[in-house]
Structure 1
Amino acid sequence: MKKVIIATSILGVALLFFLFFRGKSKEAEAKFITAEVQRGDISIIVTATGSLEAVTTVQVGSQISGTISALSADFNDWVKKGQVLAQLDPTFLKAQVAQAQADLEKAIASAELSQKEYERSLTLFQQDMISESDRDASLTNYELAKAEQKSAQANLERVKTNLDYATIVSPIDGVVISRNVDVGQTVAASLQAPTLFTIAQDLTKMQVQASIDEADVGKIKDGQRVVFTVDAYPEQSFQGKVKQIRLAPEVVQNVVTYDVIIEVSNPNLQLMPGMTANVTILVDQRQDVLKVPAGALRFHPSLGTKGSASNGKSNVRLTANLASAGDANPNRSDSSDLKKSKQTMLWILKQQGKPESVSVQVGISDGTFTQIISDHFKEGDKVIIGQEGAVSSTNNQQVNPFTPRFGGGRR
């Protein structure tokens, strides 16, 4: 009986030790969150806003002052080059032309008379009947009369030109998008000609002038593909491509941006000048590549959980500094160093739920998914992206319009 009690006591103590250390072991075991390696497209984009405008827009003004007596074009009218748009009251201008014509005729008559007097004085001088000074005075009067004739002729041309300016014509073929005058309105031409009409040459070809932040402008290149939307058609996307990156900076409250011109086709005339465009520029793209959630590259196992390196030679604490990835801070989420080195580590689950690190090459990243280049992985493999209880920051991203909807690839 005594032996039975002793044996029972020993078994009880052993059971307590077993349960105690088993509980400790479970506490040390971490529960990991995994995601599958996918195959699909990755796109890097730059977003901005801009304004739609016609490629060529001409402001038609008046070079003379006057009163609008007639209008021959209105909003949205298509006009041809040379077509009359408006007419200024020509009454005063016609009177000026008549006055200038009379002044010219008077100057011509005066010049003819001065010429005859000069010819007569020249004959008398040759006969020694007048002095040389009288002959020179006659010549001077003749030259002055000819100059006055030229001045009168020039004045007549000037007032005739002003009369022509009273008829406002279109300088290009296009559509009237703005009319700023009405019949009876007085136009005052000063140092700057007043704008009467604004004409867009061809609305089937338009452009977006987008403001790109200085941090992103280095990624923009001519010919890059662009997708944009406008508030008037929120469910429809429009296509374009980068045409020009302007060098002049725009500085507003110490924020520097650069204007990027995007050429757009508008065959159905849906787009209108002045519309706000929400622009997405495709900077880089990889198609049909292996990709993992970006959180997998930022994952570092927490303190106290044991794992192993990919070579299987040694156990390492999962507070490993991942020196090969160039990241000295295991909790750091910035992957800029990884992008520079193009090499990092992913963590996978081995048997018994232990994590193991695998070295991979990384390609481009859209902020949500990152391309990986490795013989260790294939589509459908699982990688660790986090631990239960850890805070995740991989959600709440913007949709990338260049990524197929069925392939993931959200930004």
Structure 2
Amino acid sequence: MTEKTHASLAIPARETEQGEHQLPPRQREWKRAKIAVVIVFVLLVVGTLRTVIANVMQNREVTATAQQNATQYVNIVTPTQTDGSGNTLLPGTLRGYVESPIYARATGYLLHWYADIGARVKQGQLLAELDTPEIDQELAQALAQRQQINSSLALAKSSLERWQQLRQRDAVSQQELDERQSTYTQDLANLAAADANVKRLQQLESFKRIVAPFTGVVTQRNVDVGDLIDAGSGTSRALFALAQSDPLRVYVQLPQAYAQNVTVGQKVVVTQAELPGQQFNGTITHMSGAIDVPTRSLQIEVTLPNPDDKLRPGAYVQVAVPAAAHARLTVPGNALLFRAEGPRLAVVDAKGVVSLHKVVIAQDLGQQLEIESGIDPTDRVIINPSDSIADGDHVKVQPQSQQKNGKGAS
């Protein structure tokens, strides 16, 4: 810029300052006040705009955060379709082929016992002996009474024979002969009653010897020497408990859905958790003729050989029975919703809209549920749904949460 230009700019500035100096002092103050007001007004406007913009941005941020917090994120799985073949594991209980508590038939004191728990006994083997003094005395009395009646009968018989001879000579009346005949007949009946009483007491006395009714193992011994034993099973306790461990019986409650898939003579496999890797082959030998109404199940009985005594009566086992004849869908157990209307599964569509499907559960397999109807193989089922989820809710599926084989993120 040239010196001439600087000179031209400096001249108006000097003129302005000279003009202000030429104004009266009051007008100069008024002009400065107006400039200050304008500056303050501009600052207020700028501050107001800044506050409004900050509020708008904060409201937008709060709204976005609320929307983000309100969004439900879910994990989904697709149902797995079974092939309709294979076996289904059901719980069962091992029982001895024959099991019996052994009670006393005679009252007395335990004199001695010969078999403890775990002992293997043969049929007819002596288990314990009782001391029965009352029965012994009753038997002695019955024998004496029978001897007394027998002597009376001999006298009545000889008297009858003499009176029969006298009647042939017409020395006695028919009435007297009939009386002797009646006395003899009565003594015969008394002797028969005495014999029956003696046999009863002899049989009762034989029960002093407690013997094993069948070959098996003693599972309980509830008495000891000197115990007072009461006859019968009403109020008294069992002396022993005996079980036949080979073969065993397995009782299984078969769901109604599988009742048509089993028949008598069918082979099954029995496993026990405490014996990993070992399988035991059994045969269905009996089936209940009706479905149990409270449980909607059919009781079946499996006969299981146990020659090496690896399995014990009373143990919990699993029995593999034939599965359903038609294919079903399975989903994880944590996908089920319990509502007042019945069990439901939450299914989400491609738009993220939830719909609750009413389902019929064919079987509860623990971690998996076998579904009879209510869902399709292509449905996306929500696992671990919240209790408040309802029809029409909008959810967002977690990325890569959809899995097969009925497994998903928990």
**1:53-132 maps to which residues of 2 (within 5 A)?**
53-132=95-174
Aligned with residue 238 of structure 2, among 173, 195, 208: 195
Change (3 A) 1:224 1:115: closer
Task: Tell me, yes or no, if structure 1 residue 138 matches structure 2 residue 180.
Answer: yes
Cα pair 2:118 2:217 within 8 Å, conserved: yes
Distance 1:135 1:207, change over 3 A: closer
Letter in 2 for 1:124: L
CA contact (8 A) 1:58 1:200 kept: yes
Q: For residue 200 of structure 1, report the CA deviation from its aligned partner.
A: 2.2
Q: Secondary structure at the match of 1:247?
A: coil
Map residues 195-214 of structure 1 onto 2, 5 A cutoff: 195-201=238-244, 203-214=245-256
Letter in 2 for 1:220: V
Is the alpha carbon distance of 1:200 and 1:85 closer, same or farther for their aligned partners in structure 2, counting shifts above 3 Å?
Answer: same
Residue aligning to 2:286 = 244
The separation in 2 between residues aligned to 1:334 and 1:52, in whole angstroms, is 30
Q: How many residues align?
A: 275
Question: In structure 2, what is the Cα distance between the partners aligned to 1:248 and 1:72?
Answer: 44
Q: Structure 1: where are the runs of 5+ without partners?
A: 1-32, 34-40, 286-292, 296-301, 305-332, 346-387, 398-411
Cα deviation digits, residues 327-375 of structure 1 (max 9, x gap): xxxxxx9787999xxxx99xxxxxxxxxxxxxxxxxxxxxxxxxxxxxx
TM-score (norm 2): 0.57
Q: Which has the higher strand share?
A: 1
Task: Give matches, 1:319-330, under 5 Å.
Answer: none
Runs of 4+ more than 6 Å apart? 333-339
| Alpha-carbon separation, structure 2, partners of 1:137 and 1:294 | 92
CA 225–113 in structure 1, closer or farther in 2 if over 3 Å, else same: closer
Q: What one-letter code is carried by the residue in structure 2 that aligns with 1:78?
A: R
Write the deviation string for residues 169-205 of structure 1: whole angstroms up to 9, x where unpaired. 112222212223322223323475863322223x242
Instruction: Call closer, same or farther: CA 1:230–1:335 in 2, change over 3 Å.
Output: closer
Letter in 2 for 1:115: K
1:197-229 superposed Cα distances (whole Å, 9 cap, x missing partner): 22223x242232111122222222334443343
Determine if contact 1:85/1:169 at 8 Å carries over to the other structure. yes
Q: Root-mean-square deviation (CA), in Å? A: 3.9
Of the three residues 257, 263, 269, the one matched with 2:303 is: 263
Q: Is the 8 A contact 2:84 2:323 kept in 1?
A: no
Confirm whether residue 273 of structure 1 aligns to residue 313 of structure 2. Answer: yes
Select 1:186's aligned residue among 225, 228, 235.
228
Distance 1:116 1:268, change over 3 A: closer
Match for residue 15 of structure 2?
none
Pair 1:157 & 2:199 matched: yes
Separation of aligned partners in 1, 2:192 and 2:102: 33
Distance change in 2, residues 1:136/1:194 (3 Å): farther
**Is residue 84 of structure 2 the alignment partner of residue 46 of structure 1?**
no
Distance 1:135 1:276, change over 3 A: same
Structure number having the greater helix percentage: 2
Name the structure 2 match of 1:230: 272
Structure 2: tracts of 5 or more residues without a match: 1-76, 78-82, 332-348, 352-369, 379-398
TM-score normalised per structure 1:
0.57
Q: Any idea what the Cα deviations from partners look like across 1:18-60, whole Å, max 9, x if unmatched? A: xxxxxxxxxxxxxxx9xxxxxxx98432222111112222333
Aligned positions of 1:279-298 closer than 5 A: 279-283=319-323
Correspondent of 2:405 among 385, 394, 399: 394
Using the TM superposition, give the Cα deviation of residue 237 of structure 1 relative to its aligned residue in structure 2, in angstroms: 4.3
SS at match of 2:288: strand
Q: Aligned runs of 1:376-395 on 2, under 5 Å?
A: 391-392=402-403, 394-395=405-406
Question: How many Å apart are 1:393 and its aligned residue?
Answer: 6.0
3-state secondary structure, aligned to 1:255: coil
